[in-house]
């Protein structure tokens, strides 16, 4: 039974795509054989390098101190969660459940993770800049001496 189902599935599969015609292959070969035009940048002055611009878009979060209501007056959870906890928690446990007292650890962890992410991003950007500057130096060295090994 499984063989019949497999045969039916293979019979319904799309036909294999045909290859490009000879004219398209000749056009592709000709395009690959051409040497691409190379743009040589103007010589750079000391201390001046290429400029790379990046636009970063992301969520903008409010600072943790914007909300001035203390944690003992309002829970850090949404109001519907507060109402649910109020309904299902026994009277003797409501104070510790609905109005927890203590050091707010979550904002500190968020701040720490934000700083770690920022440091990791700076390190990644620095490595990318070094890689680009090395590749640019190799390119300029190869242009000066094309017989150099690795060019």
- Please give the backbone phi and psi of residue 76, each rounded to the nearest 5 degrees, phi first: -75, 0
Q: In terms of residue numbers, what domain contains 86? A: 70-102
Q: What is the pLDDT of residues 12-69, one digit of tens each?
A: 655 555 666 778 888 888 887 887 666 656 666 666 777 778 887 776 666 666 666 5
Name the DSSP letter for residue 65. T
Do 144 and 114 reside in the same domain of the chain?
yes
Q: Is residue 18 part of a domain?
A: no
Do 93 and 108 reside in the same domain of the chain?
no
Q: What is the pLDDT of residues 77-99, one digit of tens each?
A: 677 777 888 888 888 887 777 76
Residue pair 151/145 in contact (Cβ under 8 Å)? The answer is: yes
Q: Is the pTM of this model over 0.85?
A: no
Count how many Cα atoms sit within 13 Å of the Cα of residue 113 in the half-sphere of its side chain: 6
Give mean pLDDT, residues 113-138.
Answer: 94
What is residue 76's predicted lDDT score, i.e. its pLDDT? 62
């Amino acid at each position: 039974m499984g063989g019949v189902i497999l045969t039916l599935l293979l019979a319904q599969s799309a036909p294999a795509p045909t290859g490009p015609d000879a004219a398209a292959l000749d056009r592709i070969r000709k395009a690959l054989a051409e040497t691409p035009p190379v743009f040589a940048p103007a010589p750079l002055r000391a201390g001046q390098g290429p400029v790379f611009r990046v636009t970063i878009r992301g969520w903008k979060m409010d600072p943790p101190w914007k909300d001035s209501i203390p944690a003992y007056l309002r829970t850090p959870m949404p109001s519907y969660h507060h109402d649910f906890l109020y309904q299902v928690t026994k009277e003797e446990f409501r104070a510790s459940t609905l109005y927890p007292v203590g050091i707010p650890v979550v904002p500190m962890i968020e701040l720490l993770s934000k700083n770690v992410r920022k440091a990791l991003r700076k390190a990644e950007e620095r490595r990318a800049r070094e890689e680009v500057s090395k590749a640019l130096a190799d390119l300029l060295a190869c242009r000066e001496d094309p017989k150099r090994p690795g060019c």
